[in-house]
Each structure stands twice: as structure tokens, then as C-alpha cells.
Structure 1
Amino acid sequence: MAKGPKKRKHSESQNGENAPAPLPAVRNSDEPSQKKVKWQNKQRVLVLATRGINHRDRHLMEDLKKIMPHHKPEAKMERSKTLSVVNEMCEMKNCNKALMFEGRNKRDLYMWLSNVPTGPSVKFLVQNVYTMAELKMTGNCLRGSRPILSFDPAFMEKPHYAVLKELFTQIFGVPNYHPKSQPFFDHVYTFTILDNRVWFRNFQILSEDGALAEIGPRFVLNPVKIFSGSFGGAALWENPHYLSPAKYRRQLKISARDKYVDRMQQKAHMEATRPKESYKLTPLDDMFKKDPLKMAEEMEGENEDVKEAVEEKQVRVARKKGEENKESGG
């Protein structure tokens, strides 16, 4: 059987129209191919609490988790463990910042902010806590949106406030292009220094002209100490105006006790200086102590003596007038 003419292979033309596509470069190593990464600021915050916080403090922690999409949760920590365990938790969770709530006696709340693992770390006493559910104000913001951080100019006046500002910026600031965040701003965090404390407020941006509405949570941070390390180390700064809650409650009890002691002393002084005999309101009080007949006789004798004295005086006045008349007539 006769074979047909063999097909010719098309040779590559000079202009390269039929050239095959170039093959990808061969990687000689096992390293994965590099990807274009937009998320440069790798800030991850570990948020946890110790056992012993009350329901309001727990709701405050949940509110902070809602407004911080770059956080990582952790179970409650036993109070018997040392605070250095938090550094190990952050290492396992791949976090470089930590926010921990420490409760005492179910009524005092402390907050720790730390840069893991090198430090510094700050201990605050949390006061005047109001959660989002308690405020009930008209306002709302998208969950996961990035906030604008607004700081009081007083943060740059003293060095310890500058350290606090940097910690607040790195912990509460949501990184750009974070996978769980939204690429726009619709609320503002304000940090204000007043009465040696840091006041935190959260406002929603209503319009471009600057209208705001508070949405919570709100709380006041009273700084206690700044440490050089993470959850420990040398004390870089200590608040001279800080008064522990136990001492404050003790002062209230002492002031209440002093009020009672002062009242009892005033009462004892009044009893000591009170006159033993009361004032005689009427001259007839003695008539109930003596015999009425004798008193009547004495009153009659006194009346007769008074009459005689009056008559003698009248006679003397009459004689004096008569003598004066005689002299004038003579």
C-alpha cells in the first residue's frame, strides 16, 4: 500500500510568530515562592484575664475584643501562676503585644499593657468602667474597621506619658491591610490626661464635618508603675499620686469613724458644761416649797412696811413743798 507524503515539520520563522512559550524558571531549592505581602505591620495582641474578675470587667474585655480585630483570645489564667507565663503564651500564639486584666476580690480591676518579650510594660488601675451595653447611646460602627487614635498634647510633655502613648499606639492601632480589618476609618479613640489619669473614649464619626457620637466602652486608667521588662523588671517610673483601693476604702472608714467620735465628744462636752440648776422663770416657784400661811403673813408684813415707807416719803415731800412755798411768799 502506498504511503502518503510525510507531513513536514513547520520550522520556526524568523519573526518568531510560531515560537513556543517560555518555560518557567526552575527552582533548585525547597523554599516556597515569594508572595507579595501587603500586611507589613505584624502586630498581634494577646487579650486574656486572670480568674477573679466580675461580670462587668468580663464584658469590658469582650468589648475591647470586638473593637480590636488584630487580637488573639486566650483562656483565663490561674492566679497561682506568675505573670511571666504570659510571655510564653504570647510566644505560642505568635503575639508581640499583650493586654491582660487582673481582678482582685471581685471589685478591683488592674490592666497590664506589655511589649513582649523585651518590654516595657505598664500596670494600670481601671476605674469608672462603662461597657457598650450600659451606655446605650445612639451610635454604631462597623466591626473590624480601623480607628483613628487621638492623643492629648500632654502626652509629649513628660517622658513616662510618651512611653504610654507609644504602647497605646501599638496595641490599640489596627495594622493596615489586616486580614480581619476593614480598609477605612469610622470611629476615633481618644486618650486624654486629666487628674493624673488617662481617660479613654470611643466615638463614631457621623459625617465628614466632624460630628461624633460616643459608642463606648469608656474607662479611666490610673497608672501605677512602668517596668523595664515584660510583666516585670526594674521599675522605671512610679506614680506618686497613686492610692490603692484598699487604702482608699480604709480612709473612708476612718473618716466615718472620726465623724462618730467628734459627735460623741460634742455630746459629752455639752453634758459637762450644762448648768446644774435651771433658770427661775417666775418668782412664785418658792411658794410650793414653804407653808402658804407663813408666806401670806410675810407678804402682809412686807406690804405694811412698804405702805409705811410710802407714807413717810409722801410726808417728807409735802413738808419740803410747804417750806418752799413759804420762802417764795416771804
Structure 2
Amino acid sequence: MFLLSLNILYMCRYRHLMMDIVGLLPHSKKDVKVQAKDNKSATLNELVDLKSCSSCLFFECRKKRDLYMWVSKCPSGPSAKFLVNAVHTMAELKLTGNHLKGSRPILTFSASFDMHPHFQLLKELFTQVFCTPKDHRKSKPFFDHVLSFAILDNHIWFRNYQISVPHHGTEKLERGALDKMTLIEVGPRFCLNPIKIFSGSFGGQTLYENPFYVSPNLVRSQEKRQKAGKYVKKVKAKQRRRTHVISNLLEPDELADVWHE
């Protein structure tokens, strides 16, 4: 079992995303908001121990706009920190897929997870967190949806699909007839940008640091500089125009005051 915790989630979309994940994982336990600025690691590990869990998903919202997600094995680690982008909840997407609540998921990973050691570690973390234990008291004893993890542009993309099996009257589908099964997306959707992987739970020695990660604060500052650059260009253009007019004054016309006499 593992624990999900919510920290100062201002935006309604992030709160709905967490509730969607709770609905996907019947073996999860959720808790109230956590205020732990000084010693977040000790507070969360103690909370996980009180809930008798072994893993933790911690959602942290900063500046009321940036969502970070921690995936940790408690209390010894390892743990990983992600920036969550491209969030789309179930209520927002309104897709046609639908599966029973509490059913066990099939986890699929793209081949890129086996190409690098840090992705192999993340694959094992996701497997232990998102895979519902067999014979869990809150889970259904069958599989009817697929959780997909794919790597594209050094980002991890999450999708949830329903396994749709066509029925023709009372005929049963033969076992292993995968060609007759289809996948229908259910939601939610989100993208994980890896930041760091730590040896401990919510901290410790850094095992991996993403060299392609760009902080949202840096992105916003660059956007402000671009907007400021447009304004500076307009001001300089007006100054050039004023200087051009002053340096190229027209000679007075002799017939300009003819109609004023």
C-alpha cells in the first residue's frame, strides 16, 4: 500500500488530477494537506509510517501554478521528483472509455525505459506504486484497463485505456484472442518531466539529474524578457522616427499661405 498527499493545491485541475489517480488505484490511501517547509522528508516519512504504507505519491504545488510530483519508497528510498505538465483530467476530456472502479491495471512501458539506468529505476518505481497487489481487499480480481508509460523528448507520458472486448450474443471470446480486443482511452492524461532521482526517501544523495530540465521560473522570465524586448523596440523605433524628422526638415512652401490671405 502507498500514500497520496496533497500540498497547497490551488488550481482545481491539480486537485481533480489527484482524485482521478486515487480512483485508478484502489490500494491507495489519501491524506490531508501537508505543511512541511523545513523538514519535509521526516514529516512525510512519519505520515507514511502512520498509514502503514510502503510507497508515497506526493503532489506539491508552488506559486499556485507549478505542480511537482514525488514518487518515493519509504522510508529508505529511492525517490524521484517530477514536474507535471500537460494535465488533462477525466472530467475535462470527456472520453468515451470506461472501466470498472477498483479493477487491476496492466502496466505497459515503452522500450526506451530499458535503454538507460535511470529510466530502468523509474520503471521499477512506477511498477511498485501503480500495480495493484493481487487479492487486495479493495480490488477486483480481473484486468480491464491499461496504464501506459511512454518516453518522448525525455518526458514520460501517462495514458489510461480501457480494454474493450466485443460481445456477440452469448458467445465468449477465446482466450488469447488479442486481435479482437481494442483500447479506448479513459483518462486522465499528464506528462512527467524528470528533475532528480535521490537515493533516500524525499532526499539524500543525487543519483541522477536531468540535464535538459528547465525551471518554470526561467521559462516565465524569458517570456517577460521577450515581451519587454518588443516594448523596447517600439520605443527605439519612435526615437529613430523623431530623430529622422528633425534631421530632415522640409523647406517652407511659398504657396502655403495663399488661401489664408
- TM-score, structure 1 as length reference: 0.69
Query: 1:146 corresponds to which residue?
Result: 104
| Partner in structure 1 of residue 196 of structure 2 | 225
Aligned equivalent of 1:213, options 180, 184, 195: 184
| Equivalent residue letter for 1:124 | F
What is the distance in 2 between the residues matched to 1:105 and 1:128? Answer: 17
Amino acid at match of 2:27: H
Q: Distance in 1 between matches of 2:226 and 2:98?
A: 44
Separation (CA, whole Å) in 2 of partners of 1:287 and 1:78: 81
Q: In the comparison of the two structures, how many residue pairs are matched?
A: 243
The answer on 1:75 being equivalent to 2:75 is no
Instruction: Give the counterpart of 2:248 among 276, 290, 297.
Output: 276
| Aligned match of 2:23 | 66
State the one-letter code of the partner of 1:220: C
Shift, 1:142, TM fit: 0.4
% same residue: 49
Q: Distance in 1 between matches of 2:122 and 2:10?
A: 24
Q: Secondary structure at the match of 1:138?
A: coil
Within the candidate set 221, 229, 232, 1:258 is matched to: 229
Asked whether the 8 Å contact 1:53–1:109 carries over to 2, the reply is no
> In the TM superposition, what whole-angstrom CA distance separates every residue of 1:209-257 from its partner, at most 9, and x where no partner exists?
2422111111111111111100110111111111111221111100100
Any unmatched runs of 5+ in structure 2? 166-177
1:272: how far off?
A: 2.8
Whose strand fraction is larger, Structure 1's or Structure 2's?
Answer: 2
Match of 1:243 among 183, 190, 214: 214
**1:81 to partner: Cα distance:** 5.3
SS at 1:75's partner residue? strand
Q: Provide the residue aligned with 2:11 in structure 1.
A: 54
CA offset at residue 271 of structure 1? Answer: 3.4
TM-score by structure 2 length?
Answer: 0.86
Structure 1 unpaired stretches of 5+: 1-43, 291-330
User: Could you say which residue in structure 1 is the equivalent of 2:122?
Assistant: 164
Candidates 133, 137, 150, aligned match of 1:179: 137
Q: Following the alignment from structure 1 to structure 2, what is the Cα–Cα distance between the partners of residues 132 and 176?
A: 26
Of 80, 91, 96, the match for 1:122 = 80
Matches within 5 A, 1:25-44: 44=1
Distance 2:255 2:7 in 1: 84
Contact 2:9 / 2:15 at 8 angstroms: preserved in 1? no
User: Does the CA contact (< 8 Å) of 1:138 and 1:214 recur in 2?
Assistant: yes
Show CA shifts across 1:58-112 (max 9, x none): 1111111111011112222114452221111122211111001111122111100
Instruction: Between the two structures, name the one with larger relative contact order (CA 8 Å, sep ≥ 6).
Output: 2
CA separation of 1:192 and 1:288: change in aligned 2, threshold 3 A: closer
- Alignment correspondent of 1:319: none
Give CA-to-partner distance per residue, 1:273-313, whole Å, 9 cap, x none: 45624499xxxx646689xxxxxxxxxxxxxxxxxxxxxxx
Q: Choose which of 149, 158, 171 in structure 2 pairs with 1:191.
A: 149
In 1: Cα distance, 2:87 partner to 2:256 partner: 73
SS of the equivalent of 1:74 reads strand
CA distance in 2, matches of 1:117, 1:80: 19
Query: Structure 1 pair 110/276, CA: closer, same or farther in 2 (3 Å)?
Result: same
Equivalent pair of 2:55/2:73 in contact (CA under 8 Å): yes
Cα-Cα RMSD: 2.0
Structure 1 Cα separation of the partners of residues 194 and 102 of structure 2 = 28
| Counterpart Cα distance in 2 of 1:80 and 1:204 | 39
